[in-house]
Structure 1
């Protein structure tokens, strides 16, 4: 790539998949489709859980937060990525790169903790059903969400600031399609051991610790389900937890494979595809997973679609 094409010395070059032009054309179409699915699916869940009073429960409160998080997460990445895929200009401004770095780190770590909070909600609903609404009261739910977003924001500010303060000696080429922490650390021209250790330590805290708590919650849930005498009760419990467990498996499975594999076990392109999967494809799958396995969500979405259809019909009649 001709480095003279970028507009200023402060811009970063995102190599992405530029060494595979044909692949870029295919990816631009795939990413666009999945981004539209993410927008439509997560927006529908947010509206449905807000408008249907039957869904004003802790479980759907957390689901609404997850959908909002996924919308922000993909929107912080996809528009810039599509601009780079569609045109010869593969750059991102310094300010744009900094914003993307902070937001990507903040929202990615928030999703890890939010999935752990959602598992605690399911644990309380199944293992302590008589006290569920007392324990998971609106005040506690709101407090948990504020704490999760706040802790992850603080983590993002610390790690990203440490990374951005590393001298780069004029290096502006990132071998990725977005500004992410490992790619930024690699272009530093000094010893980055301290920063890498900090990233690893906080990675343990924000990835493995929530996963450990999720596994503990589902261990108790599994024991409670096996003790149920009613088959109908067992099926209801499995359906209630199945969607969340599926999302956790996809999200954590991809992240763990990507960040905890041996350093030379995968190519750089494979790492890009894995990042592409959990940042763009996974958020588009979440609405499908939650709606296909949940009768209340399907009913709420059907109601929302009827309202939209009737509203559009009334507008057409009024205009005619």
Structure 2
């Protein structure tokens, strides 16, 4: 087992065009380095901006729904956050009702685990309420909640199959074959194991598949930093259900834009029967262009809209 300080993919195999693009993107990040959070909602002048970000979110969720429908997979939206109850933030207060309305209008099954979390002591479910990182007890709690959801779809099966020749080299975005102690959260190391297919799992997926396959998309709430592989919710679920394949495709700092593109470009080739996307109000405000330029998986530079640029200049000062 080696020691690593970064969980992102390395730079091996980068072409000249990749390097030039990265330099251009870094210049844009340097021009607009700030990533706002709840300020987007709190600023009285930013209502147009928040409406815009909600539309970005809705568009990405619709793209994911269209893709899962095409693959005959069942899409399920799960709100998963500790920003609830006394820890509620503007992002959750305004974002969660919007997510409910949006999923209802799209005919997508919706489960709000934020309410369940609010009924518990959040300090016991997390290692730190500041970062919202699950504790071992929290991971068991999340596994319990997801278990009750998954059990509703025991008969769900997709008939979609892909020939091996069409499958990508990886199904997830993590650097394949990692087996390392990670130090990307300061002085609290954790063991990260990634299979050869870029997923936080201790085994590779086999084809043709013989089990009901459940793909779980999300950011840190799914990836679960600061927990060893065996302690994360998806690993707990896998041990409980050896007759199912539980896939953890979570990546820190991803948002709905990333979940949709990850699915269409890679994760759909796992041939899932059920696709659970874990989301929250933070995924709406994280559609903001500076967050996208820093963390998006897409190979593009996000230019700010008029509303985004106006907010940035008013809040941080014109550069």
Query: Does TM-score exceed 0.5, indicating one fold?
Result: no
In the superposition, the TM-score normalised over structure 2's length comes to 0.27
| Bigger share in strand | 2
| Bigger share in helix | 1
